[in-house]
Amino acid sequence: MKYFWIFLLFSFSLVLNIQSAFGQTDTLHLYQAYSSFSNEEKAEWTAFENNWNYVEYTELKQKQKIKKLNCKNCGSFYADIYIEINATGELTAVVFKKGKICGQPISNDTLINAFEESLKAQTFNYLKNRQFIARFGHILKC
């Protein structure tokens, strides 16, 4: 009887863990864990990414007349961008790979250039000699 209760308790906790893992949230923020980054590099990238989301991304949304992302009107506004950082911490390549605005692929050259230009002035102290693709913006999980 003791094993029955242990099994039942284990099963119940497993079900709760599965439900919390698949529970729906308002936004799906794709933070890419760059496993090869040191702690300093991760901290620097996270600080940059947070600052970009609050300043540059907000300006891009305003210019595109997107007041609020929601599942009814506009479920996505993001860009995947290839980034190269040289030995001095400067961005040597910022290339738009793909992106979506309100569910449609971004084909507007002005918007693509705005994404690229918003990143080009950045320099890093710890991130050096790196190449990766990063996602900027948000996708709602509708």
Q: Token pair for residue 77?
A: 């506004």
Q: Provide the domain count of the chain.
A: 1
Give the CA count within 13 Å in the CB-facing half-sphere of 99.
26
What are the pLDDT digits (tens) for 85-106? Answer: 999 999 999 888 888 888 889 8
User: Is 18 part of a structural domain of the chain?
Assistant: no
Nearest partner of 79 among 66, 62, 60, judged by Cα: 60
User: Is 14 part of a structural domain of the chain?
Assistant: no
User: Is 5 part of a structural domain of the chain?
Assistant: no
> What's the average model confidence in pLDDT over 69-92?
87
User: Is 84 part of a structural domain of the chain?
Assistant: yes
Give the CA count within 13 Å in the CB-facing half-sphere of 44.
13
User: Is 13 part of a structural domain of the chain?
Assistant: no
Q: Domain of 93?
A: 25-140
Q: For residue 58, which amino acid is it? A: T
- At 86 the pLDDT is 92
The residue ranges of DSSP E strands in the chain, in sequence order, are: 27-28, 76-85, 91-101, 104-105, 130-140
User: Is 12 part of a structural domain of the chain?
Assistant: no
User: Is 76 part of a structural domain of the chain?
Assistant: yes
pTM of the model: 0.67
For residue 66, the SS3 value is coil
Q: Token pair for residue 116?
A: 């690229």
Q: Token pair for residue 46?
A: 């996270």
> What's the average model confidence in pLDDT over 24-29?
32
- At 12 the pLDDT is 57
Nearest partner of 139 among 72, 71, 85, 93, judged by Cα: 71
Q: Token pair for residue 41?
A: 């590099």
What are the pLDDT digits (tens) for 98-132? Answer: 888 888 898 888 888 887 888 888 889 998 888 88
User: Is 58 part of a structural domain of the chain?
Assistant: yes
> What's the average model confidence in pLDDT over 71-90?
87
- At 141 the pLDDT is 79
